[in-house]
């Protein structure tokens, strides 16, 4: 039995804060301007998610998949990103350095 929430392609705006979404399937989710402050997104699948303008301050994103995710304007201050994966199609906020945050680039050939 799968106990991980499947929220792929969901649209949420300003809906979540301090929520346990560890392991959640959030592929292609529209989380624009969502408040995810302090939320646990450990190992969440955020592949292709739109997180533009989202507040991820203090969010736990260890080992999350951010491949092809859209994050311009997102606040990542104090976010825990060690081991989170991204690719050449992931769009980060201006000036953000994923390698400095311990993120891992995983491009498919």
Q: Write the pLDDT tens digit of every residue in 40-49.
A: 999 999 999 9
Give 18's pLDDT tier (boundaries 50, 70, 90): confident
Are the CB atoms for 45 and 65 separated by under 8 Å? yes
- Residue 9 pLDDT > 50: no
Instruction: List the beta bridge partners of residue 75.
Output: 55
Per residue in 67-96, pLDDT (tens digit) is: 999 999 999 999 999 999 999 999 999 999
54-68 pLDDT, tens per residue?
Answer: 999 999 999 999 999
Whole-number Å distance between alpha carbons of 89 and 108: 11
Whole-angstrom distance, CA of residue 75 vs CA of residue 67: 18
All structural domains of the chain:
1-87 (2.160.20.80)
Tell which wins on pLDDT, 32 or 101. 101
pTM: 0.85
Q: What is the pLDDT of residue 108?
A: 57
C-alpha 95: how far from chain center: 17
């Amino acid at each position: 039995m799968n106990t991980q929430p499947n929220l792929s392609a969901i649209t949420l705006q300003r809906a979540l804060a301090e929520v346990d979404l560890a392991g959640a399937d959030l592929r292609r989710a529209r989380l624009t301007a969502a408040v995810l402050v302090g939320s646990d997104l450990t190992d969440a699948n955020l592949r292709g998610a739109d997180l533009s303008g989202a507040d991820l301050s203090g969010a736990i994103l260890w080992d999350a998949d951010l491949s092809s995710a859209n994050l311009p304007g997102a606040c990542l201050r104090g976010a825990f990103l060690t081991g989170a994966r991204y690719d050449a199609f992931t769009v980060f906020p201006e000036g953000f350095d994923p390698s400095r945050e311990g993120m891992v680039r995983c491009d498919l050939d």
